[in-house]
Amino acid sequence: MTTSNIDNVASPQAKGSAVASPAAPAEPKAPAERPYSPGLQGVIAAETAIGFVDGEKGQLLYRGYPIGQLVERGTYGRVAELLWTGEWRKSARLAPAAIPEPVMCALRELPEHAHPMDALRTAVSVWGAWRRPHWPPTVDQARELTAFAPSALAAFHRLRQGLEPVAPNPKLSLAGGFLQQLNGKDPDPAAARALDAYFIVGAEHGLNASTFTCRVIISTRSDLASAVCGAIGALKGPLHGGAPAEVVSQLHEIGSPERAEKWVREAIARGDKIMGFGHRVYRAYDPRAAALRKVAEGMSDMAEWLDTAVKVEDVVLRIFGELKPDHVIKTNVEYYAAAVLQGVGLPPDLFPPTFALARMAGWSAHAIEQASADKLIRPDARYVGPPETEVPSLTGR
């Protein structure tokens, strides 16, 4: 029987079956008829197997593994490999890599007053122009970019101080190597471990602004360097990557636990935002903050500063519970990130780009995943401008 004959055979429904014919597919709605979500809040724009955030329960998983266990039992090298490949390998490590000469030349040309985030973005951009990473992005590209980026940031920091960059030591971890290249001496093991823990908790956090930016760029079949440059640009914004530095300033302003009660009440009365508290996703204690608090408590030289931070935290949470009982406001990761970053000796303007170093693994993992989907991200917009209007005649008044 030919295909045309098969197509002409009557179906059971056509012979008197009570089964109704399938309904025709609905016409797609115009943008104006669809619900609008400012900031895309609540809109599912991707499916991912990389990370899972449960804001109600205060849960964060990387490929199914809880963040607290990853900090306790892992290293950034193992976690990065997990994010890239989905495999947990105890032998995985990530060592600091040398800076390509074109990147070093570009860093030397930057003014001393350049923002460190701009320096890191420039380094990644020059790396992309020199390396010309092809699409789709690969794990090898991700490893190469993630390994040299800390060296580049450390080199810029030394150059702006009038010092020569320090060659990376491949025997060190990525975090330990970063500290060695910043300071020109072997890092304190406890400080290196603390920074490694910070790198782990900063590596991935769902479809945040910078990760979404990275995926949008990759969805156009652009390269990994372009996507990461865009992500760095998004992270540079104070609503995304600048909070830990502001936490330090805030705690210095409070000064002591005894002044916390008055300071917090006055800040809330003015409507000021108290940095390190509240999160767009979490309605429970941020699990990253819990993990970093344990790390900070293990840093002996942070005892006094951490003691102040813990006591101020208790005051803030108590007052929020008293004055805003209907709002669930808990400690977020930036609060104890500030403790760790200050404890390892980083200046505040290096906090955001150090966050970017940690997020390199997550960004590149999402880039690889987005490329495998190979679907252009192109949402619609609702037009709210004037209706169609005739352009005035050139001969009229």
Same domain? For 261 and 233 the reply is no
pTM of the entire predicted model: 0.85
Catalytic residue among 279, 313, 366, 369: 279
Q: For residue 329, how far is the Cα from the chain centroid? A: 21
What residues contact residue 203 under an 8 Å CB cut-off, 6+ apart? 62, 76, 79, 80, 83, 358, 359, 361, 362
Is 38 part of a structural domain of the chain? no
Q: What is the mean pLDDT of residues 323-341?
A: 82
Q: Are residues 219 and 102 in the same domain?
A: yes
* Model confidence at 307: pLDDT above 70: yes
Please say if the pLDDT value at position 13 is more than 60. Answer: no
In terms of Cα–Cα distance, which of 125, 55, 83 is closest to 280? 55
279 a catalytic residue = yes
pLDDT at 97 over 60: yes
Owning domain of residue 217: 95-238+352-373
The mean pLDDT of 347-356, rounded to a whole number, is 93
286 and 369 together in one domain = no
Point out the least confidently predicted range of 55-69, 95-109, 304-318, 353-367.
304-318
Q: Is the pLDDT of residue 206 over 60?
A: yes
The answer to whether residue 177 sits within a structural domain is: yes
**Is residue 382 within 8 Å of 221, Cβ to Cβ?**
no
β-partners of residue 51 are: 62
360 and 311 part of one domain: no
Given the residues 144, 313, 334, 369, the one annotated as active site? 334
Question: pLDDT tens for residues 214-225?
Answer: 999 999 999 999
Residue 194 lies in a domain: yes
Residue 326 included in any domain: yes
Place 25 in a pLDDT band, splitting at 50, 70 and 90.
low
Same domain for 192 and 262? no
Q: Looking at residue 326, which CATH number applies to its domain?
A: 1.10.230.10
Total number of domains in the chain: 2
User: In 3-state terms, what secondary structure has residue 136?
Assistant: coil
Q: Is residue 72 part of a domain?
A: no
147 and 273 assigned to the same domain? no
Assess if residue 395 is contained within a domain. Answer: no
Compute the distance between CA of residue 371 and CA of residue 141 in angstroms, rounded to an integer: 13
The answer on 359 and 231 residing in a single domain is yes
Query: Is there a single domain that holds both residue 184 and residue 207?
Result: yes
Residue 231 and residue 301 share a domain: no
Pairing of strands 65-66, 51-54: unpaired
Taking each helix axis from N to C end, the angle separating 139-160 and 101-109, rounded to the nearest 10 degrees, works out to 30
Give the residue-averaged pLDDT of 341-356: 92
- Mean pLDDT of the 169-184 span: 96
Q: Are residues 249 and 126 in the same domain?
A: no
Confidence class of residue 32 from pLDDT cuts 50, 70 and 90? low
CATH classification of the domain holding 163: 1.10.580.10
Phi, psi of 203 (to 5 degrees): -70, -35
Is 174 a domain residue?
Answer: yes
Inside any domain, residue 262: yes
198 pLDDT above the threshold of 60: yes
In this prediction, residues 358-364 reach a mean pLDDT of 98
**Are residues 232 and 369 located together in one domain of the fold?**
yes
- Check whether 1 has a pLDDT greater than 50: no
- Give residue 23's pLDDT: 55
Residue at a domain's end among 319, 342, 365: 342
DSSP states along 196-232: HHHHHHHS--SS-HHHHHHHHHHHTT--HHHHHHHHH
Residues 247 and 106 in one domain: no
**Sheet-wide strand order for 59-62:** 51-54, 59-62, 65-66
pLDDT of residue 101: 97
